[in-house]
Structure 1
Amino acid sequence: MSRSLSGPTVEWALGRLDSRLQSRGLHRSDGEDGDGPLLRISPAVEVAEDATPHAASGGVEAFDYVPEPDGSITIAAGGAIGAAYGLIGLGDRVSLRGSWEAALDGIGAAGGSPAVPVRGIVRSFSSVDEDLPWFRDHTFWTEYLDWMAESRFNRFHLALGMQYNYGADRHGATDNYLCFAYPFLLEVDGWDVTADGVTPEERDENLQMLRFISAETKRRGMSFQLGLWNHAYDYGRDSRHRYEILGLTPETHGDYSAAALAQLLAECPDIDGLTFRVHYEGGIHDQDHEIFWEKVFAGASGSGRSLEIDMHAKGVDKALLDAAAKPNLRPVLSAKYWAEHQGLPYHQASIRRREEAKPIPPGHEMTGVTEFSRRFTRYGYADFLSEDREAELMFRVWPGTQKLLLWGDPEQAAGYGRLATFGGSQGVDVCEPLFFKGRKGSGVPGGRDPYIAPDLQLGLADWTKYRYTYLVWGRMLFNPDAPADEWRAFLTETYGDHADSVERALSPLSRILPLVTVVHGVGGSNNGYWPEIYTNLPITSGVDPGHYGSDTDSPPVWGTVSPFDPTTFYIINEYAKDLVDGTVGARYTPWEVAQWLEGFVAEAEEHLSALRLVTSQEAQFRRTVIDLEVLSCLGRFFAAKFRSATQYGVYQQCGSGAALRSAVAENVKARDAFATILDRVEGIYQEDLKFGDGASEHGHWALRLPAVERDLQAMKAELDALQAPSDVPAPAHPLRAATSGIRHTPPEAFRRGEDLAISLDSHDATVRGVTLCYRHVNQAEHYQTATMQRSGDSFEAVIPAAHTGSSYPLMYFFDVDLGETRSLHPRFNAALSNQPYHVIFSEDRRP
């Protein structure tokens, strides 16, 4: 059975297809002859209920191409959105291959269905000075939303009110435009509440723009999510608000917010969902927070239409879940994927000990849930992935790691496409590049463009530098097994004959900062840690560590920093001790991390060298090569830092003068690599790139270099002062033996309350023993272990009934004794894009 598909989303996609065809001298035909080559799509699109593999079972976003005998194409889709994806994909193929005939070659295998249900992109309004121009520009939105939809994002999240973290910003708030959004958008019936300095005409213009943005989002087949991240109308702490909110009191705050939200939903019928920061940083104290949110959720429920209520998961408790349980509302919790950063595609095997729950001290009730009793909800999925959960869960990739430099690795993006649905979760919101530019009052009029080189500036089109970043994210979240045609059409259009070199250099270099983030977990907050423009943490104790002391272990130096996943990666000083003692365990070592970083740089170097020889003055080519150079330098910098810190830790453990000399030599390499960045970016980027007012939120590589140099000089001074260096040799770092002979097939499911047998087969004679490490998919828990019993080539252990008698899925991995070394199993692949443990569900898992 089939029927024709039409409507706004299909018409939009046909228009985009026409644009691509015209660039090749082609045009569509409904059967009439015309001038020039013709392309027939007959019928334009149809919905197939049982005819084709993807469209029959993949939902409204799925599509297949069906070549017809007359040379035309039928796009069989599960719905209008899938039809639009098929049309856009057809344009990609024509553009890449140059002709209609070439585009048809093999097209029958080019359909798809979504791997990740929610594929969101998040854009933040962070500064009235830097963001109001794009917010009110219709042309900007037309081009921007076109590309997001073509990239196959299916949700656009406009985030308002993320400028500040109430109660955590020591200087209060100044630039509060659209922060407490209602009075900047509405005159609420029966309430005399205004934003001082905002005229009724300006307020109405803002509302009209919100209507336009939400309607245009829906027209392209994406859902529109409005983020109302702040509900504080007065930030206190002697804040000098540029737009003081007048007419509210603490007693009327909740009632006004509920009424305003109800009216906003009536005025903007294309809002599909709302995102709220419900812990104290959103302006509502943790103590009795459900009283305020009960009113707000009631206002949303009263709209009469189905709405997703996305609660930022940090600090969520049972009281908030109960408050959201109302007619028409679909509660969803959105957790941070890797704290407030972009890490590797897998989810941390464990959280830092700093994130574990603590008792609430007297006087800390305002932050009690978030910072103490449910502290483990701050930077991961916490205890929200029970199979019997009350609310669905999704993830958000925050913008702490990388805000400025180009990113694009199809392999790691595919890893996210496979793992963003971890534990049955719904998907992911990706915070886009340049996120938080101008945040916390740091913005200046006309200052959003990060470039000062006139020929590289982009103005309101700054987002277009990152077209490839968006494309790789969106397409690989949709289909992690997508063919390279999905992105190579764009690369060829943009870089011509140099497309292959750009792809092969950018892919490995894009793995550097996510890996550094995971292993060097010096700060969970994006406010305090920005590895892209790294504020130096010293290796030695002879240099002031600066602001890092608030969110890392003491003393704050490289050797004490916990990885964000301390189960999978070593803390440097722990590794140094085990190395000296001869007891190195299975965790990945900082020496191995350095090898990976150097490997990524080396993999890119051949292609980057070729790009350096190109004399093109095309602006995007130059922007790309500059960023590749910086990423390469950062890879060499961090590799040398890991090596230097490791050798310094060995010196501290055994007094080896050789280890200290090695530490100094590696630190010199780190300094030299960092200094090279300055040569690459001189006159290119702003001298103070502002994403906030904190020490790590703004700056430039030139401003960071002196601290790198001070740490090096302190280490040299320590070496010079070593009057009687020990002749103890620095121990050799172990090489992991290959474990290719190990095989394990996870059970399909487990029965709650029954023993679960786990077996592992090994044909590797070096395997001496295996330990099973397991826990529930609950980050509030620690791992339990069981020694596996050997029987021939097999090892067996049991996860006991007491542990399987739970509503949580199980996760586990193996610690393998190889005699001279130990190894984790499963191990990372070469792109670090897989999951280094197994997850299994119970037979009772909800459908």
Structure 2
Amino acid sequence: MKLPFLFLTAVSFLAGTLGAERVFVLHDATVPQAAYAARKVGAALRAADHEVIAARAQYDRLINLSVNPGRLGAEAFAIIPEGKVITVLGGDDRGMIYGALALAEAVANGTPLADIAAVEEAPHQQFRGIKFNLPWETYRPSSALDQHIPTAKDLKYWEAFLDMMTANRFNAISLWNMHPFTFMIRPKNFPEASPWTDAEFAEWQHLYREIFRLAKERGLDTYIVHWSIFVSKDFADAHGVAQHNYYPFYYGPGDTSEIVRRYLRESVTQVLEEYPNLDGIGLSHGEGMGGMTPLERQQWMDDVIIAGALAADRPVKLIHRAPFSANLDSGGSTSSSAEVITRAAMERLGDAFEGPIWVEMKFNWSHAHSTPNLEKVHGGKLGDTYFKPVPENYKITWQARNEDFFALRWGVPDFIRQHIARNGGHDYSGGYFTGSECYIPALDYFTATDDPVDWTWAFQRQWLFYKLWGRLLYNPATPDAVFQAEYTRRYGPAADHLLKAMSLASSTQLRLASLYDSRWDFTLYSEGFLALQGETTKYIGVDALIKQGTMASEYVSVGDYVTATLAGESFAAERITPPVLIGLLERDNREALRLVESVDTTGNATLRYEVADIQTWAHLGLHLAEKLRGAVALQRFRLAGDPADQQAAIGHLERALAAWDEVIAITRPLYRDMRLTHYNHNSFERNDDNRFHWALIRDEVAADVTVAREATAGTD
């Protein structure tokens, strides 16, 4: 395989050289977004051996970057080739950037300028955001998050991360931490709240100003989001207030004293006035508000956060998190008092904020990568108060949280397309966030090999995840060929089947998260087969798998399946019973392994990781298939008493262990023992003994075999 690959590379190089052109990029250099678009097009042209010239005279090709809002809508773009001119037209500056990047992508994939095709696209989802938890005063105290602080203070990191967002057509980044204000301002009337020396504060200010400037240049909206009633420790100590309302405490009662209200209200205003490139702010009716009713929480938000934002002398955008008490009341109503109060409060604001208010809701709590059907939000079932009648000044934005895979690459394009089709097309829908609470995509703390790889930071390892979510939110009709072309550009013909293999294998994670019900952040960690059980995060043993209900309503748990079938009952064809799930897991994961078995990764450590992650997901899927067989047989033995079922259970669980050993064999040379927030639980102590690797929990996996051997009939 090496010789053909080298040969094709040489041919491609010669073809690119022979087709090289002198190109002039016409743009308005005084507009930061146009200058950015021109830089990106220019870099792609140079990489393809074209010459980018500084003067318009004697060009072979002219690329015209311009904006025409009369022709195109917001964020839309068109590429129009006409003779020697390729016009990249945007409905606004953001659309122009997307068009320029689409042209750059075509050039990078080897398309000659003479063959650039006409194309026109417009955004499907209006809000396409990333939730980014900053590692300072972050929500989950953990050394797994603290370790990212130096990386997240590096502007080179932010330049690369924001480049990635724009290339994938995300349009908003929200920065979350418990109390952002003293990192950004010295409160004018409360200087005692600031813990920094002048030099330290200048560094923080520079960091935030540059993040917002880089984002604005790339056409990204920026938000800061914090949690409720939190102050700095220095402020609390100086005034003897809010003693449970500073980091890292977040479960305490809400301190609503007037000095706290004034401090936070003025801080909101001052931040918005001192950071003109910051687009908006987010609020949450959650932690730090213990003992307050839904009405009291909303009134506090209106009087403090909303009032502070509206006092700023400029337009402001707003993210309004839905209260976490969204569930059916005891009378079976389709609304709760919190929903009614929140909707009324937002409607009273009218058009006070710029654009629609983005109402954020967690899709399937913290585990959106499960079923594309909405089963629950944070707190339980969701009523229809926010949707009926259709709102006029706000839009629902789904939070597609990922607390399930941090190390392994993931990518299932059809899952995201289904998600958007089922949940993103309503007249009340505004878009999506994606992001994590327990993970920050900054420091690469995973990679064990010393061989050179093509990434520096963690998010670059997960390039497919971001490319799928961003591009499909912009245009769900984007074909798989676009994503496969990126594999081919990176790795050549050896990667021709990697997208399909990754989609098949990483569906294992979706199926486990659909089968095993979960709620908040670390009640499930799918790539590790870990779940919170009682007060302990540990491997999902065979008994837990039998007893746990399902996330997806179409799935059938092991316990329910065995009880029903022993009673002579059956399930409708559309239900996913354990035997059906076993069949899907074995079919898809064996095919994934077949697709990558001949890929030669010799001398290419980056490609080795791509293939290894597919193989790891596949063996995790085969592990789950055998574990399900063992769980069904074990439960049948316990209920019906046939010794043959016990022997079958032992055999299947032994084979499940063998599949786990394959996972260890693949990952041990490639992955370090990795810090994991899920192991910290809700402790405020920094626990460094929180390392995860599949090898470290082998004894928990092996314990399933012992459970089956020691089982007795008649003990459900």
- TM-score, normalised to structure 2, is 0.80
**Which residue number corresponds to residue 184 of structure 1?**
183
C-alpha distance 284-132 of structure 1, shift in aligned 2 (>3 A)? farther
Counterpart Cα distance in 2 of 1:460 and 1:433: 22
Counterpart Cα distance in 1 of 2:248 and 2:437: 27
* 1:140 shift after superposition: 1.7
Secondary structure of 1:482's aligned partner? coil
* 1:513 shift after superposition: 0.4
Give 1:439-588 correspondences, 5 Å limit. 449-455=445-451, 461-521=457-517, 523-535=518-530, 547=535, 557-566=544-553, 568-586=554-572, 587-588=575-576
**Which residue number corresponds to residue 279 of structure 2?**
272
Contact kept, 8 Å, 2:586 with 2:621, in 1: the verdict is: yes
* 1:675 shift after superposition: 2.2
1:767-812 deviation line (CA, Å, top 9, x unaligned)? xxxxxxxxxxxxxxxxxxxxxxxxxxxxxxxxxxxxxxxxxxxxxx
Counterpart Cα distance in 2 of 1:318 and 1:13: 45
Secondary structure of 2:380's aligned partner? helix
The percent of aligned pairs where both chains have the same amino acid is 19
Letter in 1 for 2:171: N
**Which residue number corresponds to residue 68 of structure 2?**
47
* 1:236 shift after superposition: 6.3
Counterpart Cα distance in 2 of 1:133 and 1:456: 22
Q: 1:111 aligns with which of 117, 120, 129?
A: 120
Letter in 1 for 2:225: G
Secondary structure of 1:269's aligned partner? coil
**Which residue number corresponds to residue 416 of structure 1?**
419
Secondary structure of 1:588's aligned partner? coil
**Which residue number corresponds to residue 152 of structure 2?**
135
Give 1:350-749 correspondences, 5 Å limit. 350-351=375-376, 375-376=379-380, 383-389=385-391, 391-424=394-427, 425-431=429-435, 435-436=439-440, 449-455=445-451, 461-521=457-517, 523-535=518-530, 547=535, 557-566=544-553, 568-586=554-572, 587-611=575-599, 613-616=600-603, 618-694=604-680, 699-718=692-711
Q: 1:101 aligns with which of 114, 120, 133?
A: 114
Contact kept, 8 Å, 1:229 with 1:282, in 2: the verdict is: no
C-alpha distance 191-122 of structure 1, shift in aligned 2 (>3 A)? same
Letter in 2 for 1:39: R
1:151-191 deviation line (CA, Å, top 9, x unaligned)? 11111122223xxxxxxxxxxxxxxxxxx221222211111
Contact kept, 8 Å, 2:626 with 2:656, in 1: the verdict is: yes
Contact kept, 8 Å, 1:185 with 1:204, in 2: the verdict is: no
**Which residue number corresponds to residue 261 of structure 2?**
254
Counterpart Cα distance in 1 of 2:161 and 2:679: 28
Counterpart Cα distance in 2 of 1:142 and 1:510: 29
Contact kept, 8 Å, 1:345 with 1:419, in 2: the verdict is: no
C-alpha distance 548-639 of structure 1, shift in aligned 2 (>3 A)? farther
Secondary structure of 1:85's aligned partner? helix
* 1:250 shift after superposition: 4.5
Give 1:209-228 correspondences, 5 Å limit. 209-228=207-226
1:232-291 deviation line (CA, Å, top 9, x unaligned)? 33696899969xxxxx99542222111101000001112222222322367785562234
* 1:223 shift after superposition: 1.1
Letter in 1 for 2:70: E
* 1:715 shift after superposition: 0.7
Secondary structure of 1:133's aligned partner? helix
Secondary structure of 1:303's aligned partner? coil
Counterpart Cα distance in 2 of 1:237 and 1:299: 23
Secondary structure of 2:496's aligned partner? helix
C-alpha distance 457-312 of structure 1, shift in aligned 2 (>3 A)? farther
* 1:479 shift after superposition: 1.1
Q: 2:307 aligns with which of 290, 298, 302?
A: 298
Q: Which has the higher helix share?
A: 2
Q: 1:62 aligns with which of 76, 84, 90?
A: 76
Secondary structure of 1:309's aligned partner? strand
Task: In structure 2, list runs of 5 or more residues that go unmatched.
Answer: 1-25, 138-145, 234-241, 250-254, 326-337, 683-689
C-alpha distance 5-643 of structure 1, shift in aligned 2 (>3 A)? farther
**Which residue number corresponds to residue 310 of structure 1?**
319
C-alpha distance 328-259 of structure 1, shift in aligned 2 (>3 A)? same
**Which residue number corresponds to residue 167 of structure 1?**
none
C-alpha distance 433-498 of structure 1, shift in aligned 2 (>3 A)? farther
Contact kept, 8 Å, 2:229 with 2:288, in 1: the verdict is: no
Counterpart Cα distance in 1 of 2:700 and 2:288: 32
Counterpart Cα distance in 1 of 2:243 and 2:549: 34
Counterpart Cα distance in 1 of 2:534 and 2:445: 29
* 1:141 shift after superposition: 1.6
Query: How many residues end up aligned between the 2 structures?
Result: 634
**Which residue number corresponds to residue 784 of structure 1?**
none
Counterpart Cα distance in 1 of 2:288 and 2:453: 35
Letter in 1 for 2:312: S
- TM-score, normalised to structure 1, is 0.69
C-alpha distance 459-615 of structure 1, shift in aligned 2 (>3 A)? closer
* 1:578 shift after superposition: 2.0
- Residue 170 (structure 2) pairs with residue 153 (structure 1): yes
* 1:4 shift after superposition: 9.1
Letter in 1 for 2:367: H
Counterpart Cα distance in 1 of 2:434 and 2:383: 16
Q: CA RMSD in A?
A: 3.4
**Which residue number corresponds to residue 18 of structure 2?**
none
Counterpart Cα distance in 1 of 2:191 and 2:257: 15
Q: Compare 129-138 and 402-411 and name the one that shifted more.
A: 129-138
Contact kept, 8 Å, 1:376 with 1:382, in 2: the verdict is: no
C-alpha distance 304-240 of structure 1, shift in aligned 2 (>3 A)? closer
Contact kept, 8 Å, 1:527 with 1:694, in 2: the verdict is: no
Contact kept, 8 Å, 1:569 with 1:588, in 2: the verdict is: yes
Give 1:29-44 correspondences, 5 Å limit. 31-33=56-58, 38-41=60-63, 43-44=64-65
Letter in 2 for 1:183: T
Counterpart Cα distance in 2 of 1:328 and 1:284: 30
* 1:344 shift after superposition: 4.3
Counterpart Cα distance in 2 of 1:302 and 1:240: 27
Counterpart Cα distance in 2 of 1:549 and 1:137: 33
Counterpart Cα distance in 2 of 1:485 and 1:457: 25
Letter in 2 for 1:292: W
C-alpha distance 31-184 of structure 1, shift in aligned 2 (>3 A)? closer
Letter in 2 for 1:534: F
Q: 1:338 aligns with which of 364, 376, 379?
A: 364
Counterpart Cα distance in 2 of 1:648 and 1:191: 64
* 1:210 shift after superposition: 1.3
Counterpart Cα distance in 1 of 2:170 and 2:662: 37
Counterpart Cα distance in 2 of 1:528 and 1:628: 25
Q: 1:83 aligns with which of 96, 107, 124?
A: 96
Contact kept, 8 Å, 2:298 with 2:342, in 1: the verdict is: yes
C-alpha distance 580-236 of structure 1, shift in aligned 2 (>3 A)? farther
Contact kept, 8 Å, 2:403 with 2:436, in 1: the verdict is: no
**Which residue number corresponds to residue 208 of structure 1?**
206
Counterpart Cα distance in 2 of 1:486 and 1:433: 30
- Residue 86 (structure 2) pairs with residue 73 (structure 1): yes
* 1:20 shift after superposition: 0.7
